[in-house]
Amino acid sequence: MISRRAKIRLTACLVLFLLAGAAWFILGKPQATISELPAFAPESGKPVAPAQLPNSPESVQTPTAEVLSDRVVEYHIDVKLADDNVLQGTQTLTWTHPGKKTVNELYFHLYPNAFSSQNTTFMQESGGKLRGDVMPANGYGSMTITEMKTEDGLSLMHRMQYVQPDDGNIKDRTLIKVRLPKPVKGGETITLHTRFEVKLPQIFARMGTAGNFVMAGQWFPKLSVYEPAGRRDRAVEGWNLHQYHGNSEFYSDFGIYSVRIRVPEKYKVAATGFPTRPSVVKNGEKIYQFYADDVHDFAWAASPDFVYAEEPFSAPNVPGVRIKLYLDPAHEDLKERYFYAAKAALTNYSKWFGRYPYSTLSIVVPPKAGNGAGGMEYPTLVTAFGADDTSPGYDLERTVVHEIGHQYFYGMVASNEFEEAWLDEGFTSYAEDKVMELEYGLIPNLPVQAGLITSPAPLTQESWKFDSQNDYASNVYTRGKLVLLGIEQQVGAKTMERILSTYVKKYRFKHPSSTDFQRVVEQVTRASWSEYFNQYVYGSGMADFAVEKISVKPVQKEGNTWYESSITVQKKGSDYKGVPVRIVFEDGHVVNKQWDGREERITYRLTYSSPVSWAMTDPLYSMVLENRHMNNFLKAGLDEPVQFRWSLGATKLIEAIFGGLTW
């Protein structure tokens, strides 16, 4: 029997339902962003609320009403993992023109075509290698668009043209232009329907297959970024167009993704975002439905061998997140290490850089053969390095901590990795070191890392213009991190924390530039940083301060012998505030000086009862941007032609740099 109160509630619900229906009829149905069918409990088949769903990879959620980004794009994709590692997909893309000028064409990234032959730009620049992984023989893959049409059904297949704006390589097909039958004005939207196929390559660079493991990264036709005037200091609006290069990663607009993934029924799927309904098995395949908003990419991984584990987690700036592990069986016993690293990363990053806004974070551990897919970041999903049977060191934690750091600088701040990769990699490396020291007591060996920077280059240099992968990594990762540490040394840790917090919070979901970061530094410190940024960010500067010469002359003073010592220190690189200089006399007396490092050289003249024995700049290796330490030290009394730059002897140099430090 239904009570009177229940009848009133039922009547009210019916009235609200009718009103909602009337509004839908009058105003028109809003565009769907996720499947609108209710979730069903696996056993009963009855609709249930998300909180009642089982704690499993299929646990479903619903999107919140909060809008964090401009949501320029909306993707609805249906993809099937077919035989022979082929992805068969359909895609409906809706793009809202964010600028003011009328456009007559759209541009799409077809990233899988980077692996279609040895002649692509990616393969020529990388030599078929990435981070030590080599492309397997006959491991090629590619993408084919089989259909593209407008909402009116007009085919655009004959309006396509591959373009190569960076190098003119006509054999590179990673960027395509589509001429539109009708122009799109600023603020207008356009919807295109596409069919595509991807022959997945064998994994060596972020995407592909290894046995029955699949990593689908950069796997769908992705619209290029149209930048309005003012974004990243752009004077005139327009498309930001680049091919897929050996060094560069990616740059995309924020939007909404609703993706249905169909795989063989024994496969488990990890993906960006969260499931909106439990997976179902039908006709021998397993069907997943995922949704994500305020993200600029969508990736997924699949394997029948995944060992799944999940833990809920919350912290002051992490309202509630499901940490999901998709482990290769070789690392099944290490799940607690993965969970601890993920929680430590989320706790600290959210404290320093603001709230983690997503409800999930998935960590995929590939098999050893799939290591090429490891150590990579995607929105709400990261990959660890490939698992094997050996006991891993702290590289396990470091990789997880680093990739989760990307959720902020790559994911939310979303800088342009084609053109200013340091804004992601350098910032993430800086933050990674902080977490590893705080949580695991690991202190980075900064003098050695700086010494490995042999070809410094501007950090705003386009990624593919670095001389090699090593030069790209040493500049974008290491030198970028050291530039931030150089700022921290001048302003102090607390102010640096405020600088980075201000920067991330101001530019969340905004795609900032290096000059935007410089403005934040100047805003927080209330000082000009032009000279520093011109030398170390926009230029290729590194610090290099050497003891140029030492001369000692005995003098008689009141019947006693004294020594007039002259020590000249030279600036051979860029400016650096606060250069420490240590002068040591033969009787053990020590004089410490501090030089502002702005002039070309400075000479110290000291009169003392003992002659100078040696002098050294930066004796404690505290200058993080000094990369040529061998000329820091000079012993007095050596003839000029045979002066040998041994720093406290070869053994003492090694001890000074390596002693007590770790990577």
More confident residue, 105 or 647: 105
Judge contact between 326 and 306, C-beta under 8 A: yes
Whole-number pLDDT of residue 559 = 86
The answer to whether 578 and 603 have CB atoms below 8 angstroms apart is no
pLDDT beyond 50 at 3 = no
Structure tokens at 653: 């140099």
22: pLDDT strictly greater than 70: no
Given this chain, do its domains 70-304 and 545-658 carry the same CATH topology? yes
Task: Assign 301 to helix, strand or coil.
Answer: strand
Question: Residue 56 has what pLDDT?
Answer: 60
Rounded Cα gap, residues 621 and 632, in angstroms? 10
At residue 13 the predicted structure's pLDDT band, cuts being 50, 70 and 90, is very low
| Rounded Cα gap, residues 620 and 567, in angstroms | 19
Is-contact 318 355, C-beta < 8 A? yes
- Per-residue confidence (pLDDT) for residue 62, from 0 to 100: 80
Pairing outcome for strands 360-364 and 318-327: parallel
- 291/279 Cα distance (integer angstroms): 13
pLDDT in tens, 76-105: 999 999 999 999 999 999 999 999 999 999
Distance from the first to the final alpha carbon of the chain: 71
Two structure tokens written together for 307: 């060992």
Binning pLDDT at 50, 70 and 90, where does residue 59 land?
A: confident
What digits encode the pLDDT tens for the residues 228-265?
Answer: 999 999 999 999 999 999 999 999 999 999 999 999 99
Rounded to the nearest 10°, the torsion over CA 514, 515, 517, 519 is: 170
Per DSSP, what are the bridge partners of residue 79?
89, 261
With 0-12 CB in 10 A as exposed, 13-18 as middle and 19+ as buried, what is 534? middle
* Residue 202 contacts residue 132 (beta carbons within 8 Å): no
Residues 572, 577, 578, 579, Cα dihedral to 10°: -10
Beta-bridged to residue 293, according to DSSP, are 256
Its pTM surpasses 0.75: yes
Which among 127, 138, 122, 130 is positioned nearest to 204, based on CA atoms?
130
What is the pLDDT averaged over residues 136-147? 95
Contacts of 86 (CB under 8 A, 6+ apart): 197, 198, 199, 200
pLDDT band with cut points at 50, 70 and 90 for residue 339: very high
CA 27 to chain centre: 41
What's the mean per-residue pLDDT of the chain? 89
What ranges do the domains of the chain cover?
70-304, 422-536, 545-658
pLDDT of 659 higher than 80:
no
At CA 442, angle to CA 436 and CA 444, rounded to 5? 95
Q: Looking at domain 422-536, which of 1.10.390.10, 3.40.190.10, 1.10.40.30, 3.90.470.20 is its CATH number?
A: 1.10.390.10
For the record, the structure tokens of 467 come out as: 């001389």
3-state secondary structure of 229: coil
**Sheet order of strands, 222-223 included:** 160-162, 175-184, 103-109, 222-223
CB 424 within 8 A of CB 378: no
In angstroms, the Cα distances linking 252 to 48, 413, 545 are 36, 12, 42
pLDDT band, very low/low/confident/very high, at 61 (cuts 50, 70, 90): confident
Check the CA dihedral 48-54-59-65 and report its sign: positive
Residues ≥6 apart with Cβ < 8 Å to 628: 451, 542, 544, 546, 572, 573
pLDDT for 638 equals 57
Q: At 642, is the pLDDT very low, low, confident or very high (cuts 50, 70, 90)?
A: very low
Angstrom distance (rounded) from CA 645 to CA 586: 19
Name the residue among 33, 129, 137 with its Cα closest to residue 77: 33
Q: CA-CA distance, 127 to 144, in Å (whole number)?
A: 24
Task: Report how far residue 383's alpha carbon sits from residue 215's, in angstroms, rounded to the nearest whole number.
Answer: 10
pLDDT score recorded for residue 570: 97
Which one has a higher pLDDT value, 662 or 126? Answer: 126
What is each CA distance from 394 to 205, 301, 323, 398, 455, in whole angstroms? 23, 24, 20, 6, 29
Nearest CA to 412 out of 293, 310, 521 is that of: 293
In terms of DSSP bridges, do strands 612-617 and 633-635 run parallel, antiparallel, or are they unpaired?
Answer: antiparallel
Helix (H) or strand (E) holding 654: helix 649-658
Amino acid at 347: T
Given a cut of 90, is residue 335 above it in pLDDT?
yes
CATH code assigned to 545-658: 2.60.40
Closest Cα partner for 487 from 434, 439, 430? 430
How many angstroms separate the CA atoms of 221 and 107, rounded? Answer: 10
Q: Which of 614, 536, 601 is nearest to 569 (CA)?
A: 601
State whether the Cα torsion 330-336-341-342 is positive or negative. positive
The dotted CATH code for 70-304 is 2.60.40.1730
Q: How far is CA 440 from CA 88, 237, 393, 513, in A?
A: 44, 46, 12, 32
